[in-house]
Amino acid sequence: MLIAASAVLILFAWFAGPRRFVEAVLLTRSALDPVFNLTKAGGIEDMGVGAAVNLAVLVVAAACVATRPRVSRGPTLVLWGPLLLVCLVSSQVAPDPGAAIRLTMLLATHAAFCLLAFYFVRDLADLRRVLLLIVAGSIVPTLYAGLQLALGWAVFGDDGIRVFSSFPHPNIYAFYLMTILAVVLTLLAGRNFGLSPRLRRALALYVPVLLALILLTKTRSAWAGAGLILVTHGLLFDRRTLLYFLGLPVALLAVPEFAERLADLQQGNTADAYEKLNSYAFRILLWQGAMTWFWERPLFGWGLSSFGHYVAQFFPLPLENDTIDSHSVYVQFLFETGVIGFLAYLWLYARVVVLTARLILRGQRWAWMILAMTAGYLSMAYSDNMLYYLVPTWYMWFVLGGACAVLGRQRVVRRQPLAVPA
């Protein structure tokens, strides 16, 4: 099934063109997880049509590199090269090489989406088009989330009502919503995007819908990230955005579960027989155990994807199936790839921040929202398994790549010599 689905997708990209393929992925991928889960071969993780899409993305990116040499691959190589190289080397010493290679390929798809943006975003008009396409792709998940709430399907495990739409977990949906919120506010912040008054009104009306859904995911880190994005837009572009914070006390009073979600952090902070650890205290205990092992191999770590393999040996509490993910990208890279991999990961985002800052210095003030989105993602990477959250990260990296492509295009225009009259 994997080979057949990959062949079909690659043929579609061949006949429709790489641009149409990427646009189709941007428009539909956020709604397709329920379908892809039905196609996983024998329940083996990531071996269904979803894996075929990942493979097709890598093939299309490679085809663009081979057939369009005029587009510079340098920016993406500088960004992603160090991290992917570290992951490839670390895979050779991993206790589970198969899992390590799968994670490396997953990260390669993130890099591919960043690269593809350089091929299809040449100016602000192209960037506006892809940003609107990403927003359009969120409509189906939004409608599905509304259907879940209306029919009572939004109950997630023991956590009560937590909307998750077409995503496998409320946290992943929350991070996706945060990305869409940043994209919408980027469009509203950029006056030079040339949006019509009707479209601006529609986007403005979409903001409270996104905020309500973010609240209903009950994902606290996404609440903080969305708050940062709102503050950035309110202080720099439109003070009316700050009025959304006035609705927060009302939401806490109207839905007590929101307040309880925050109050959970005030209890369960000690590991004893009478009190269950809250989620953050659990993470702290997990990270402390991981750090004791980190100091045994601080430079290169224990091998990519090794955290889940070794966790039962250093974590003092019982675990389901004797394994659990790190719940922190930073702890994971330190444990699995050591200081070398951790610095390569930080380099990736430090470089993005520098490039985005250059956009701002060149008069593109909407890039402040890109910075806010990046900061929100990095804050969530502190306490969640963001490396494995494919869909939100794909969209985020296409946006980041598109912003960097606009910067590169501005440089080319400025370097072109003025025509000398005859």
- pLDDT tens readout for residues 380-389: 999 999 999 9
Question: pLDDT digits over 17-40, tens only?
Answer: 999 999 999 999 999 999 888 877
Residue 69 has a pLDDT of 81
Separation CA 324–CA 286 (nearest Å): 9
Q: Average pLDDT of 64-89?
A: 91
Please report, for residues 26, 63, 133, 186, the alpha-carbon distance to residue 20 in angstroms, rounded to integers and kept in the order given: 10, 14, 12, 24
- Per-residue burial over 26-53, b if 16 or more Cβ lie within 10 Å, else e, is bbebbbbbeebeeebeeeeebbbbbbbb
For tokens 């062949």, what's the residue?
Answer: 7
pLDDT of residue 45 exceeding 60: no
Greater confidence, 190 or 223?
223
pTM: 0.92
Residue 142 has a pLDDT of 97
Separation CA 115–CA 119 (nearest Å): 7
* Token pair in block for residue 115: 């690269």
Residue 271 has a pLDDT of 56
Q: Which band of pLDDT confidence, cut at 50, 70 and 90, is reported for residue 251?
A: confident
Q: Which band of pLDDT confidence, cut at 50, 70 and 90, is reported for residue 113?
A: very high
The half-sphere exposure of 188 on its side-chain side, counting CA atoms within 13 A, is 28
- Per-residue burial over 379-416, b if 16 or more Cβ lie within 10 Å, else e, is ebbebbbbbebbbbbbbbbbbbbbbbbbbbbbeeeeee
132, 188 Cβ separation under 8 angstroms: no
Q: What is the mean pLDDT of the chain?
A: 89
CA proximity to 215, closest of 248, 176, 181:
248
Alpha-carbon Rg for the chain, nearest whole angstrom, is: 22
Residue 335 has a pLDDT of 97
Which of 33-42, 152-161, 188-197 is modeled with the greatest confidence?
A: 188-197
Q: Average pLDDT of 202-220?
A: 95
Residue 318 has a pLDDT of 86
> Helix H segments across 190-278?
197-217, 220-236, 247-254, 256-263
Q: What's the length of the chain?
A: 422
Q: Which band of pLDDT confidence, cut at 50, 70 and 90, is reported for residue 422?
A: very low
Give 78's contacts (C-beta < 8 A, 6+ positions apart). 351
Please report, for residues 28, 208, 301, 367, the alpha-carbon distance to residue 244 in angstroms, rounded to integers and kept in the order given: 29, 8, 44, 22
pLDDT of residue 415 exceeding 50: no
Residue 47 has a pLDDT of 67
266, 413 Cβ separation under 8 angstroms: no
Q: Average pLDDT of 150-154?
A: 90
Residue 3 has a pLDDT of 77
Q: Average pLDDT of 104-128?
A: 95
Question: pLDDT digits over 312-342, tens only?
Answer: 999 988 888 889 999 999 999 999 999 999 9
pLDDT of residue 16 exceeding 50: yes
Neighbours of 289 (CB within 10 A): 18
2, 15 Cβ separation under 8 angstroms: no
pLDDT of residue 269 exceeding 60: no
Tell me which DSSP letter residue 301 carries: -
> Helix H segments across 38-169?
49-67, 74-91, 97-120, 124-137, 139-151
pLDDT of residue 46 exceeding 60: no
